[in-house]
Amino acid sequence: MRTFLAVALFEIKTNINEKYTLFMFIGLPILLTLILGTTFDSLLNPDMGLENKYLLYVEEGDPVGEGLLEYLNIEEIKHYIQYEQVVSPEEAIDRHTDEAYMGYIIMEPSTGEKLFNNEPVELSYMSKYNSEIIKGVLGGFVEAMKMYVTMLEDGVQAKEPDETAFISRGAFNEGNTFPKSIDYYAVQSLIQMLVFAAILGSNTLTRDYDNDVFIRIKTAPISKAKLIFAKIVGNVVYVTVAAVISLLVSGLVFGANIYGNFPLILLTIMLFAFAMIGIGIIIGSLVKNLVISVGITVGMVTFFSGVSGGMTPEASSPFLQIFTPNYYAKNIIFGSIYDYDASIIGQSVLALFVGIAIVYTAAILLQRRKMA
Amino acid sequence: MNIFKLTLRRLFSNPVRVGVMFIAPILFITMFVLSLDVKFSVGIVDDDMSYFSKAIAVELSERYNITMINKASITSRVAEYGDGYVIHIPEGFEDLLNGPAGMIELLGYYQTPTSKVAAVEEDINGIIARMRSITQGVEGDMESAYSIYDAYREKKFDIIDSEGASGVQERFVSAMGFLIQFLLYMSIATTGIMSEDKQHGTYYRNFYAPIKMRRYLFESLLAFMTVGFLQVTIVFLFVLGTMNFAGTNYDAAFFFKTYLIMMLFSIVAIALGLFVVNIFKSATAAYTFMGTATTPLVMLGGCYWDKSLMPDTLNMIGKFLPTTWAMDGIRLVISSGTTEQFLEILGILLLFTACFFALGLTKRVDVAN
């Protein structure tokens, strides 16, 4: 037992002495929380505003065109689209490349007349960014116009809408609290940092292969399995302590909401680190070269955090993220802070355990094959 | 040119290096940039099951991936589809369409309020407002309301994304952002072999060989730059081949200028890699540091998003990073900036190159010892 603890302690000390691991496990998550938490503060706010100016062409005297101008002057719509009227479609197309404009909106001449005559008409637009939002906002106008014209044709007087918002945010938890940007990225950056633990896993193995430790160990009073396990424990402890430090910095310095079920969060961090170190051991066993395993791990970090919403929630992939451990760790930690249904947390914990079982079975099989 | 050839052979003989330099950027651009058009997932809990509540699902299905779900699975659905959205239509919804204002309340469930969530809510609000206008117009005669609604849905008034050009700029800038990220990975994947040479003593054995250190450095750097140029060219050709630029005013001069910026940035990246390799004694430390530092470098440079989203302090820090200037260059070319502004950015990138080369090629105290 003493040998086991000595090896684990040696591993912790080695990690502390490596400056780059300190940057990786403490500096990086703090830096990412700061950058992402402040950058996306406006984007994750439900009242986000977009400064989008478009060049707009509508034919003078066209009733539908005038309707569009009226629609774009509604305060709520101004939130998404501001416009500058131009005299011809060509002018809109020519000038839209200017940095000051987000694109253009062109209404076909005689739209009103064509609509009443049941002829197909078009409202074309070009948006450099946020094209989906603009399409949605213009879609609202187009649908309303179609409705007014149909009602007039049927001799029914359309009434001006007396209200325009019908949706309230549904509550997942009692206090109806949701993560703000800084809360979201405090957790996401922490998980991203934990993926880097795979480097420690592969380091554990490749360093010892390089130094012929596994040959020399045959004359030492510790088995190879025990040695590797002691190193894993040392690395898990080191990563867990670093994660807790960065989590505390996020909470105490940046004011992020990290206040969930602490034992559960700690367990998640340890399980995740354990899983990642296992993956690192597999990578290390397969490639036996630390440089290559670092390359693979960096790719893994970028992929895992990208598809699970670590960069931005909008870039996450609903399909791919269920194959990443980040997704389950995120569900447990957010679930613990924001009172998700117990079944979601339970399933995610189970998924992490299953993942660990698969990873370590593969790691053990690979090691046995090498020994054979 | 033996060292040049040998270095290239060493770089290309390692499958992970080749993967990081050429396959990974294409893979990431495909996954995160070209897939931006994937439809947003919306789950609907319909407790009303009326004509108009079902019509909401039909209208939304034209723009989103719709799944009908039950109330019990709302939380798991939102948790599983991290960026998804669920709308709950309560029982009695249709009866309230002709009622007084403030009575209709649908519940929207989502994890984070993104622009996609804002867009879908805007759509649903619009649909309900129109249904309300119709039912109020016919004073609650639901049969007439259904008939007008059906007739209005038949009308042809389409919104056309002009020649499919919308979002091309957004996607092009994102693709260039990813290229910058992978050029930084390339920088360490290439210059790292100098660090390996030092670690294995190859570098010092050169002193006994009939080659000068200058030649070793020159030919190695030439090999790294060749790889960088190759990476830029391959990714550029991939982007040009897969994105639809029809309807944009992007001409040959536009593509030449952006290509030039990326080529120059590949040299900056190699100089930076050389600098990092010079700081760290072990190849592992250099690789790990660059692997982890690349993410904040590209974030602060505005490679993932527009700089205007970041606070002033971070933008100020960003001014000291080459990634910022490369992205500024790309955005300048897109917004038809002047030649003087373009040359200024090239000048700044050259300055970064000079600084990093100076820092990367000095400090040879270890050799003297």
Span A240-274, pLDDT tens digits: 999 999 999 999 988 888 888 999 999 999 999 99
Interface of A with B in 180-199 (CB under 8 A): 184, 196, 199
A75 has a chain B CB within 8 A of its CB: no
Size of interface A-B (CB pairs under 8 A): 323
| Residue B338 predicted with pLDDT over 60 | yes
Residue of B nearest to A163 (CA): B101
- Residue A176 — very low, low, confident or very high, per pLDDT cuts 50/70/90? low
pLDDT single digits (tens) A309-332: 887 776 777 778 888 999 999 989
* pLDDT for residue A45: 45
Dist CA B296 CA A55 (whole Å):
36
- Residue B200 — very low, low, confident or very high, per pLDDT cuts 50/70/90? confident
Average pLDDT over residues A183-193: 89
Question: Which residues touch B128 (CB under 8 Å, ≥6 apart)?
Answer: A166, B56, B97, B104, B106
Does B112 contact A178 at a Cβ distance shorter than 8 Å? yes
Mean pLDDT of chain B: 85
What pTM does this model have?
0.76
Give just the sign of the alpha carbon dihedral B276, B282, B288, B291: positive
- Residue B363 — very low, low, confident or very high, per pLDDT cuts 50/70/90? low
Q: How would you classify the pairing of strands A167-169 and B106-109? A: parallel
Residue of A nearest to B72 (CA): A341
Does A295 contact B16 at a Cβ distance shorter than 8 Å? yes
Dist CA A330 CA A187 (whole Å):
7
| Residue A51 predicted with pLDDT over 70 | no
Q: By percentage, how much of chain A surpasses pLDDT 70?
A: 94
* pLDDT for residue A370: 64
ipTM over 0.95: no
Q: Least CB-CB distance to B119: which of A133, A291, A303?
A: A133
Of the residues A51, A71, A143, the best mutation for testing chain B's interface (the one with the most B CB atoms within 10 Å of its CB) is: A143
Average pLDDT over residues B314-320: 90
Q: Least CB-CB distance to A165: which of B78, B125, B152?
A: B125
The candidate with the shortest Cα–Cα distance to B191, out of B266, B292, B262, is: B266
* pLDDT for residue B249: 66
Average pLDDT over residues B267-280: 90
> Considering only CB atoms, which chain A residues are within 8 Å of B126?
139-140, 143-144
* pLDDT for residue B192: 81
A158 has a chain B CB within 8 A of its CB: yes
* pLDDT for residue B35: 63
| Residue A49 predicted with pLDDT over 70 | no
Q: What is the DSSP letter of A289?
A: -
pLDDT single digits (tens) A130-172: 777 788 788 888 888 888 888 988 888 877 777 878 999 888 7
* pLDDT for residue A44: 46
* pLDDT for residue B83: 57
pLDDT single digits (tens) B86-134: 999 999 999 999 888 888 999 999 877 777 788 888 889 989 999 999 9
Question: Which residues touch B141 (CB under 8 Å, ≥6 apart)?
Answer: none
Measure in Å the smallest separation between the Cα of B170 and chain A Cα atoms: 6
| Residue A216 predicted with pLDDT over 70 | yes
Average pLDDT over residues A333-344: 86
Does B32 contact A295 at a Cβ distance shorter than 8 Å? no
Mean pLDDT of chain A: 84
Most confident range, picked from A92-101, A222-231, B76-85, B118-127:
B118-127
Count of CB atoms situated within 10 Å of the CB of A184: 26
* pLDDT for residue B95: 92
* pLDDT for residue A47: 41
Does A18 contact B285 at a Cβ distance shorter than 8 Å? yes
* pLDDT for residue A48: 41
Question: Which residues touch B23 (CB under 8 Å, ≥6 apart)?
Answer: none
Measure in Å the smallest separation between the Cα of A2 and chain B Cα atoms: 30
Q: What is the DSSP letter of A310?
A: S
> Considering only CB atoms, which chain A residues are within 8 Å of B84?
318
Rg, chain B, Cα only = 28
pLDDT single digits (tens) B12-69: 888 878 888 888 889 888 877 766 556 778 999 999 999 999 999 999 998 888 888 8
pLDDT single digits (tens) A346-372: 999 999 999 999 999 998 888 776 655
A130 has a chain B CB within 8 A of its CB: yes
**Residue B47 contacts residue B71 (beta carbons within 8 Å):** yes
Interface of A with B in 207-266 (CB under 8 A): none
Measure in Å the smallest separation between the Cα of A121 and chain B Cα atoms: 5
Q: Least CB-CB distance to B192: which of A127, A158, A291?
A: A291
Strand partners, B177: none
Measure in Å the smallest separation between the Cα of A126 and chain B Cα atoms: 5
* pLDDT for residue B270: 93
Dist CA B296 CA B287 (whole Å):
15
| Residue B361 predicted with pLDDT over 90 | no
**Residue B78 contacts residue B110 (beta carbons within 8 Å):** yes
Does A341 contact B296 at a Cβ distance shorter than 8 Å? no
